[in-house]
Amino acid sequence: MKILITSEGFRSQIYFEFDKCIACEVCVRVCPIDLPVVDWELETNIRKKRLLNYNIDFRICIFCGNCVEYCPTNCLSITEEYELSTYNRHELNYNQIALGRLPMNTIQTILNSPQSLIKMSKPLLIKD
């Protein structure tokens, strides 16, 4: 399979880091179609929101990149994964687990970088 190199500014699948998200819902407010679904609850003892679920439905997403650009904690980023086709349209509704998986070509790039080869003391196991 031939992997194409994407151009600068290319917008595709979004990567989400659950631990960085503060459930501020800025991504929902800047989205032209109010797409990200952010479920949270208020922790009254510490007066903070606790994130429960985060979903983006790529059937509807127009890949404008506003959610990534305006996120105050940088928990969203755009990957170079452009192959989102599937036979079942319901598979395009990504929750925080699916959004938190890095595409294989990104993982291979990280593993082949000189910094990761120096820092790795144990072999990294990748399960399909």
pLDDT band, very low/low/confident/very high, at 20 (cuts 50, 70, 90): very high
Residue 1 lies in a domain: no
Q: Are 128 and 101 contacting, i.e. CB atoms less than 8 angstroms apart?
A: no
C-beta atoms surrounding 32 within 10 Å: 8
pTM of structure: 0.70
List the domain range (segments joined by +) for residue 22: 14-101
Judge whether residue 25 has pLDDT over 70.
yes
pLDDT band, very low/low/confident/very high, at 82 (cuts 50, 70, 90): confident
Residue 115 lies in a domain: no
Determine what percent of the chain is predicted with pLDDT higher than 90. 42
Residue 24 lies in a domain: yes
> H helices within 14-101, ranges in order?
26-30, 66-70, 96-99
Residues 114 and 20: their CA atoms lie apart, in Å, by: 26
Mean pLDDT for 43-70 is 91
Burial class of residue 99, CB neighbours in 10 A (0-12, 13-18, 19+): buried
More confident residue, 60 or 82: 60
Provide the CATH number for the domain around residue 94.
3.30.70.3270
Give residue 117's pLDDT.
45
